[in-house]
Amino acid sequence: MSVNAPAWLNARPIAHRGLHDRAAGVPENTVAAAQAAIAAGYAIECDVQLSADGEAMVFHDWALGRLTEASDPVESLPAAALAKLAVAGSSERIPTLPAFLAAIGGRTPLVVEVKSRYDGDLRLVRRVAELARAYDGPVAVKSFDPALVVALRDLAPTVPRGIVAETRQDDPAYAALPPSLRRSLSDLLHFAETEPDFLSWRVDDLPCAPAYLCRLLAGRPVMTWTVRTPDQRRHAEAHADQIVFEGFRP
């Protein structure tokens, strides 16, 4: 099993949802947050959700209410309507992934997290794979959902793919998943199917056997999220190859 983990993948600290500062008018997952990360010399992590017409939108939440004046589910509106919405009262709008990629222009690595409801819907990952294959710059794709990472093996075999995971599944969203899937997620039991090129593990769950063994024996780099304090940063340095950070500048 070969590992597609180029040096750029963990060469720079990764700004979580870009180098955002809502108080300064630079909200998360916006072009302004990406530009700020580039200017500071960081890589970028972003999230994508699916629009009603099948476009990948750079946005974290399932619904629009936390960051916009609308309250609809993201998937209920077409890309053109979503792209007109102001983010967190700023001058920034929700970017499509094509617009986000064009704004970055290959100047720094980008790690795209594909959101999933674990329902077998591959429309979003197909669109992301299409864009990643065509992008002339360093880009990787990751997801919590093993089914999406399996799909990436065929959809974009040359694009580095990763699993996002945590050992302690304390988010209420996990309650809807069957116990067998939850165990597979926390113990990385899908490894033979997903063949991830890298892991992105929750910092407070490190060290743990899956991340330790993948890093030591399988040569997979481990990124860790989301690092927000000096103590977490020191902890990450002992157990991971790079950090996904926010709230400070490492």
Query: What pLDDT, on a 0 to 100 scale, did the predictor assign at position 33?
Result: 98
Question: What's the CATH number where 83 sits?
Answer: 3.20.20.190
CB 1 within 8 A of CB 230: no
Measured CA distances, 113 to 86, 163, 237 (Å): 22, 9, 23
CA distance 135 to 181: 33
**Model confidence pLDDT, tens digit, residues 22-61:** 999 999 999 999 999 999 999 999 999 999 999 999 999 9
Tokens of 215: 């890093």
Residue 22 lies in a domain: yes
**Model confidence pLDDT, tens digit, residues 124-135:** 999 999 999 999
Residue 101 lies in a domain: yes
pLDDT for residue 1 is more than 80 = no
What total number of domains does the chain contain?
A: 1
Report the C-alpha dihedral over residues 145, 149, 155, 160, rounded to 10 degrees: 130
pLDDT for residue 2 is more than 80 = no
Residue 31 lies in a domain: yes
- The band of 140, judged by pLDDT with boundaries at 50, 70 and 90, is very high
Kindly report the pTM of this predicted structure.
Answer: 0.97
Residue 2 lies in a domain: no
CA distance 71 to 90: 17
Residue 48 lies in a domain: yes
> What average pLDDT score do residues 164-188 get?
95
- The band of 96, judged by pLDDT with boundaries at 50, 70 and 90, is very high
Beta bridge partners of 14: 43, 244
**Model confidence pLDDT, tens digit, residues 191-239:** 999 999 999 999 999 999 999 999 999 999 999 999 999 999 999 999 9
Residue 250 lies in a domain: no
Strands (E) located in 76-231:
110-114, 139-143, 161-165, 198-202, 222-227
**Model confidence pLDDT, tens digit, residues 54-92:** 999 999 999 999 999 999 999 999 999 999 999 999 999
Residue 207 lies in a domain: yes
In whole angstroms, what separates CA 171 from the centre of its chain?
Answer: 17
Q: Which domain holds residue 159?
A: 7-245
> What average pLDDT score do residues 165-186 get?
95
Residue 1 lies in a domain: no
Query: What pLDDT, on a 0 to 100 scale, did the predictor assign at position 176?
Result: 93
- The band of 159, judged by pLDDT with boundaries at 50, 70 and 90, is very high
> Taking all residues of the chain, what is their mean pLDDT, rounded to a whole number?
97
User: Considering only CA atoms, which of 65, 61, 93 is closest in space to residue 80?
Assistant: 93
Query: What pLDDT, on a 0 to 100 scale, did the predictor assign at position 3?
Result: 85
